Amino acid sequence: MPIQARRERERAERERLIVTAARELAETEGWDAVTTRRLAAEIEYSQPVLYSHFKGKEAIMAAVAVQGCADLAVELRQARAAAPGVREALAAVAETYTSFARRRPALYDAMFTHLVPLPFATEEAPEPLREAFGRLLAVVEPIAADGEDPGLLTETFWAALHGLATLTRSGRLPEPAHEQRLALLIGHFTGG
């Protein structure tokens, strides 16, 4: 058993190394620079070793997306915990979400803009994806009116945040008005 356990640890370490290298390369040079050949050179393993862990770039990007959702969930949980009230929690989570997208553009793209082989909005979705959505749901649910579907309201809130993040990042919305847009969104969702 010790040999099997060691092999499993080594395999997990190689997977972590591949995902970390892909994430760092994407953040510095963009996803076009992330190829299996380039990753193999970066981590000093052969391409067949990469393929023994991941079927290709999409699978690597999916692993990066799952890791990114776990990171986002932690940040959203911290933002909510630091807020004194319902409206403040919604505002803190909105700011944290858009800040995450701005600070980690390649990671955010892997999570929410590139096509990756991950199931979203299903029971089969990996736990970090469900956790990140759950963190959004936790701040939206208290503001849902009687008869409103909190899940649908959360999806709408998420879509608004995603739109603000991507349109601002692409320069289609001017950055200086970002705070005002978030305030309008929070006001709309909280009725005030």
In terms of Cβ atoms closer than 10 Å to its own Cβ (0-12, 13-18, 19+), residue 37 is exposed
Per-residue model confidence (pLDDT) at position 1 = 56
Which residues, 6 or more positions from 42, have their beta carbon under 8 angstroms from its beta carbon?
21, 25
Element (H, E) at 52: helix 47-53
CA 95, CA 188: separation in Å to the nearest integer? 15
What tokens does 150 get? 């909190």
CA 48, CA 43: separation in Å to the nearest integer? 13
Residue with token string 């390649």: 106
**Residue 148 contacts residue 157 (beta carbons within 8 Å):** no
Per-residue model confidence (pLDDT) at position 5 = 85
φ/ψ of 102, rounded to 5, equals -70, -40
What tokens does 65 get? 């997306």
Per-residue model confidence (pLDDT) at position 102 = 96
Per-residue model confidence (pLDDT) at position 103 = 96
Per-residue confidence in pLDDT tens, the chain, 192 aa: 588 888 899 999 999 999 999 999 999 999 999 999 999 999 999 999 999 999 999 999 999 999 999 999 999 999 999 999 999 999 999 999 999 999 999 999 999 999 998 988 888 999 999 999 999 999 999 999 999 999 999 999 999 999 999 999 999 999 999 999 999 999 999 987
Cα atoms in the 13 Å half-sphere on the side-chain side of 62: 15
CA angle 84, 85, 90 (to 5 degrees): 110
CA 93, CA 17: separation in Å to the nearest integer? 30
CA 89, CA 140: separation in Å to the nearest integer? 9
Cα atoms in the 13 Å half-sphere on the side-chain side of 26: 26
